[in-house]
Amino acid sequence: MNLAPGLAALNDLGGFFVLRTGAPPHRALPTLAQAYADPANDPTTDLATDPDGHPLGVRVRRVADGIGAPEARVAASVAHQALAARLWSAALGCAVLYGRLPDLDARLIRWDPAGSAPDDLWLTEVRARPADPETVADVVLHGHLEPLAVALRARYRLAPGLLRGNAASALAAAARLLENRARDTGRTEVGDHARELTARLLAHPLLDGAGTLTGPGPRPGFRRRSCCLYYRVPGGGLCGDCCFTRVPGSSPRATSE
């Protein structure tokens, strides 16, 4: 099936899967390529002279305000996982529903860093690519999550293992949502495809070892080997795939970070 110009098939999967197409309405928004850029090297003057206006800084502050994060790096981790989930969801959804992947070049995607969750993304041009695991990994992991991780490590000193765990967890969560939706609509082949593609992606060198698929049956769960720090948010508790089995005590640093 060819990609629909508006990627309409994603709309029925829920907000995390929706990928708007065309130019954003009302105002200019940064591209994800700008979000990944070093503010000191960004050709956009206002970002170079005002690092606090950098898209990542804007997003992290927005998340921190929304969840009451006690420190910036907690909000940065949550923001990272949320954006990763959006990118994985759009890619997986297109791969299994269309059998094709839109070119998700970071220069083609506009992002509203000050918007509400889930992240608003606009793909300004729809052009098809293959949907094999290697291409999906190239588009999402190499095209987005690698440069995003570099930017977040530089600005917020997040551990590489935490970011790898976030990327794997976001992928597993997107696949689980897609499988659930496929089951609810009786499209078992879509769920099977999503599960197979996700297993291949989790075996990619950039994700291998970040977590394990767990549990018996055709729809296993996922447990990561690092912590995203969400337990440090007041009332946050543990995520369903956390490496911890109980909230750590008063130690200021978790051993898995």
User: pLDDT digit string (tens) for 192-230?
Assistant: 999 999 999 999 999 999 998 876 555 558 899 999 999
The answer to whether the CB of 165 falls within 8 A of the CB of 189 is: no
Residues facing 109 on adjacent strands: 123
The answer to whether the CB of 234 falls within 8 A of the CB of 70 is: yes
Q: What is the DSSP string of 10-36?
A: GGGG-TTT--EESSPSSS---BHHHHH
pLDDT confidence of residue 134:
97
The tens digit of pLDDT for each residue in 104-150 reads 999 999 999 999 989 999 999 999 999 999 999 999 999 999 999 99
Q: Per-domain residue ranges for the chain? A: 8-232
The tens digit of pLDDT for each residue in 74-105 reads 999 999 999 999 999 999 999 999 999 999 99
Residues facing 52 on adjacent strands: none
CA nearest neighbour of 217 among 255, 253, 191, 243: 191
CA–CA distance from 206 to each of 126, 148, 215 (Å)? 27, 14, 23
Cβ-based neighbours of 70, under 8 Å, separated by 6 or more: 232, 233, 234
pLDDT confidence of residue 198:
94
Q: Is the pLDDT of residue 35 over 70?
A: yes
Q: Is the pLDDT of residue 8 over 90?
A: yes
Cβ-based neighbours of 43, under 8 Å, separated by 6 or more: none
Give the global pTM. 0.89
The strand pair at 128-130 and 20-21 is best described as unpaired
The letter for the amino acid at 174 is: A
